Structure 1
Amino acid sequence: MKPIDSSSVTQASIVGSAFVGWFLLAFVFLYIVLSPYYFFSSGEPQLCDYLILLGVFFTIIDISYRKVFFLTSSATAFTLLLIALSLWSLMVNLAWGLTLADSMRFIKNSQYIIFNSLLAFMLLYINDNYVVPVKKAVLYGFLVSVLILLLLQPYFESDFARARLSFNNPNQLAYFSLISFIVLSSVREETFYLGLRLLGCAISLWFLLISVSISALLSTIPIFILLFFYILKSVRSNPLLFAMLSMLSLLLALFIYAYFDVNQLINSMMNSQTGEIITSRAGRVDELVSNANEQRGYYRFFEYPEYLVFGAGQGFESRYGGMEIHSSFFSIWFYYGVPGLVLMFAILMFPLYRMTLPNIAVTASYSLYGITHLGWRFTLIWILISLLILKDPAGRGNEF
């Protein structure tokens, strides 16, 4: 891989390149918009996944046509990690598949890592080879996605006490909402309007509340700390704007106090079904923590230590209890051993190669959620990590 000599690029090729870039980016945008809608069981490809496969197909064709393309040093290093993890997962699953005479079941489970790696590479490729606003397109994708889901919310009925909307279970809604909130609040894009950010963040937080996921709600804390520092910076750089926003906030608070019974409003919220569930789950935190070893599958590390070095592979779960391990870090360690853990940890922590405050806060947020949930299979997290790695034409990353 080597950079294209910009002096040899003609005006016609620039226009053509822009068209191809937008064409490939459209697949990512549509994927984000359609990602909340689950038509099949969890773990199976959804309709939106085929859009990414089609986009990857056209990306490969474009690379073959160009014969030369450019990736920044950080994108190249990240791509090598993706390739290494994909190959290692294939090797582990193939070895266990041959040993237990069921290769396809094991190899099928490598599809999550390979699929997500291809999508991450596709984003890096588009950003580094075409003059198109990748971050802005992704931000609008998440905004449109949460807006449509909000409009459709009344049409989704659930037999769960916790809302799940178009997802198969409440935890999927929680993770989607958390990632949407992180992206819309923390990804740097100067031309994306502040009002749209606030709207998207408010909707995402609403979805987080109705999903009643304590883990997801706690995982927003690093982002709120980041926003606090952002407000402090805004005060120093634009005190007039801060004064105006403070006045508007004060007027809104006075309006609510004057025209609403605040105590009754709070009681109504807490006595609602969502409020009661949040209160109940918050009161059971000690119980949930004490039962995590059994419910999350952590006990396998003590009962099946023989799998910890090279991994148990993903398949024939009856060998070790028949249930997935609900943790991004622990599951990758158990399934793919120490090499898999090192590679996945390097991928999840890769944004910290640029120690900016947003990157630290975002990495801390999705890592907190990943402690108690199997998050690395969720494709949107790979889009988020890729966004933190992207650089604009001026070489800037995701900093204030």
Structure 2
Amino acid sequence: MMSTIEITRLTKNELNIVDKLILFFYSLYFILNPIYLWSSGLPQISDLSIIFSIIIYTFYRKFTFKITEEIKPILLVGLLFVVWIIFINLIWIFRLQTIDNFLVSTFFYIYNYFLLFFVIALVNHYKNILFKVTYISVIISVIIQFLIYIISGGGDGSRQVGFLNNPNQLGYYSLLILAFLIFFSSKLDIKFYWFMLAMVSSIILILASLSKAAIVSMLGLLILYLFVKNKKKKLKKKYVVCLALILALGFSMYKATDFFQENQLMNSVQERADSIGEDPDDNLEGRGYDRLYDHPEYWITGAGEGAYYRFSKNNFELHSTLGNLLISYGIVGLSLFVLMVLFALRNDRFRSTYIVLFLMVYGLTHNGIRNSLLWILLALIASYTIKEINERTT
């Protein structure tokens, strides 16, 4: 209901039926994003939704928008990054005479770059409306997932998956949603109670996933946001009041009941925290970092993203965002990606740096670059200059 009322109010006198269809399928992407009907690596139902949005937009708008001087660098460097990936992977396909994972990996980067380009185009056309639609969509998405978690009997202490394929995907999805919420809280006039409900839903889902990387990243992101980066005084006061009430309630429950001692979710989170550094894969070799120093010959141009049998110790991809880029595409590929991110952050005057930083903290032990939500967030961060310019000139 919130979505229908808000979007109708925003678009009543501005958008025609085609515009509404474009934004509807775009918003549906976020709502359907955590629902996997097929194995990981295949297009999911959310991808089909945003493809419908792209098709309608292409026929209706034909991508006819002005690329500003602020946006040009991120699009250019991003394009060079993807071209480099295509080039390196094709070289290794011909050298090794195998397409083992190389083509699939390449497709992810092409697809995500195109989504980045698409979202920037949407911001150019729909301006602040696109930000509001995205904000509403991520709130609906995470609240639905939280309700599913509750209805399905969540909180039993086991690692939750939801409708995704593994717990780490749930943790990363929820962390990305938290990043979106924090980003929008400084850009839009938000309704505090809906915002807090979405924040709490994200936090609980991250805890329920028992993903150590997601929990650590979440804590760092929340601490910086609540106590350092949040510049809205009224909003900050509300956070302080809510936090004080939660702490008071928690302390009372701890003293008067056995809730915390008997709560299976809390106990599981505590056990996961205590096991940091003790699990078999909680080391450099377990995550595949050893190939960085075992194979320095790949530092410049990379080994491509596939044929992992070449790394005899661990026949899998390096479980790291930046580390995987370095071993797969060398210093050239890593530098292009970092430069693209820096150009995006520059357009937001680096105010969102800490948000991206903690997403990269998660990426120290997982390869999070394939998740399209990360690229869409970068597109929105990069587009904030367009939004501000449009608002000043309209």
Judge same fold: TM > 0.5, yes or no: yes
| Bigger relative CO (Cα 8 Å, ≥ 6 apart) | 2
Range with greater deviation from structure 2 (328-337 or 342-351): 342-351
Residue type of the alignment partner of 1:148? I
Name the SS of the counterpart of 1:24 in structure 2.
Answer: helix
Distance 2:253 2:164 in 1: 37
- Note the C-alpha offset of 1:193: 1.5
Q: Does 1:142 align with 2:147?
A: no
Q: Does 1:175 align with 2:166?
A: no
| Native 8 Å contact 1:33 1:145 kept in 2 | yes
Larger radius of gyration: 1
- Note the C-alpha offset of 1:145: 0.7
Q: Does 1:390 align with 2:383?
A: yes
- Note the C-alpha offset of 1:249: 6.5
- Note the C-alpha offset of 1:172: 0.3
Give the alignment of 1:128-207 within 5 angstroms. 128-131=124-127, 133-153=129-149, 154-155=151-152, 161-187=158-184, 188-207=186-205
The residue that corresponds to 1:351 in the other structure is: 344
Residue type of the alignment partner of 2:167? P
What are the superposed Cα offsets for residues 236-256 of structure 1, whole Å, 9 maximum, x if unpaired? xx59x94x8766776676667
Range with greater deviation from structure 2 (282-291 or 154-163): 154-163
TM-score by length of 2: 0.84
Distance 1:290 1:51 in 2: 36
RMSD: 3.2
What are the superposed Cα offsets for residues 182-203 of structure 1, whole Å, 9 maximum, x if unpaired? 1112323423312211110000
| Native 8 Å contact 2:302 2:329 kept in 1 | yes
Residue type of the alignment partner of 1:284? S
Distance 2:105 2:115 in 1: 17
The residue that corresponds to 2:39 in the other structure is: 41
What are the superposed Cα offsets for residues 373-398 of structure 1, whole Å, 9 maximum, x if unpaired? 1000011111111121122543399x
Q: Does 1:311 align with 2:283?
A: no
Percentage of matched positions with identical amino acids: 25
Match of 1:93 among 55, 73, 89: 89
Q: Does 1:285 align with 2:288?
A: no
The residue that corresponds to 1:228 in the other structure is: 227
Match of 2:317 among 316, 324, 330: 324
Give the alignment of 1:357-368 within 5 angstroms. 358-368=351-361
Specify whether residues 267 and 24 from structure 1 end up closer, same or farther in structure 2 by C-alpha distance, changes over 3 A only.
same
What are the superposed Cα offsets for residues 157-185 of structure 1, whole Å, 9 maximum, x if unpaired? 89993111111111100001101111112
Q: Does 1:29 align with 2:27?
A: yes
Give the alignment of 1:238-277 within 5 angstroms. 242=237, 261-262=255-256, 264-269=258-263, 272=264, 274-277=265-268
- Note the C-alpha offset of 1:151: 2.0
Specify whether residues 56 and 159 from structure 1 end up closer, same or farther in structure 2 by C-alpha distance, changes over 3 A only.
farther
Residue type of the alignment partner of 1:145? S
| Native 8 Å contact 2:139 2:198 kept in 1 | yes
Residue type of the alignment partner of 1:225? L
Distance 1:81 1:95 in 2: 21
Match of 1:337 among 325, 330, 336: 330
How many residues are matched? 374
Specify whether residues 108 and 99 from structure 1 end up closer, same or farther in structure 2 by C-alpha distance, changes over 3 A only.
same
Range with greater deviation from structure 2 (32-41 or 284-293): 284-293
- Note the C-alpha offset of 1:360: 2.1
Structure 1, gaps ≥5 residues long: 1-14
| Native 8 Å contact 1:163 1:170 kept in 2 | yes
Specify whether residues 248 and 76 from structure 1 end up closer, same or farther in structure 2 by C-alpha distance, changes over 3 A only.
closer
Specify whether residues 87 and 266 from structure 1 end up closer, same or farther in structure 2 by C-alpha distance, changes over 3 A only.
same
Specify whether residues 134 and 301 from structure 1 end up closer, same or farther in structure 2 by C-alpha distance, changes over 3 A only.
same
Range with greater deviation from structure 2 (328-337 or 275-284): 275-284
| Native 8 Å contact 1:38 1:46 kept in 2 | yes
Range with greater deviation from structure 2 (159-168 or 314-323): 159-168
The residue that corresponds to 2:9 in the other structure is: none
The residue that corresponds to 1:108 in the other structure is: 104
Residue type of the alignment partner of 2:52? L
Range with greater deviation from structure 2 (275-284 or 141-150): 275-284
Distance 1:286 1:254 in 2: 32
Distance 1:369 1:335 in 2: 19
| Native 8 Å contact 2:28 2:50 kept in 1 | no
Specify whether residues 366 and 83 from structure 1 end up closer, same or farther in structure 2 by C-alpha distance, changes over 3 A only.
same
- Note the C-alpha offset of 1:368: 1.0
| Native 8 Å contact 2:182 2:225 kept in 1 | no
The residue that corresponds to 1:75 in the other structure is: 71
Name the SS of the counterpart of 2:318 in structure 1.
Answer: coil
What are the superposed Cα offsets for residues 317-348 of structure 1, whole Å, 9 maximum, x if unpaired? 21224211110001011111221111111233
Distance 1:87 1:248 in 2: 48
| Native 8 Å contact 1:223 1:361 kept in 2 | no
- Note the C-alpha offset of 1:81: 2.0
- Note the C-alpha offset of 1:208: 0.8
Distance 2:304 2:242 in 1: 56
- Note the C-alpha offset of 1:51: 2.0
TM-score by length of 1: 0.83
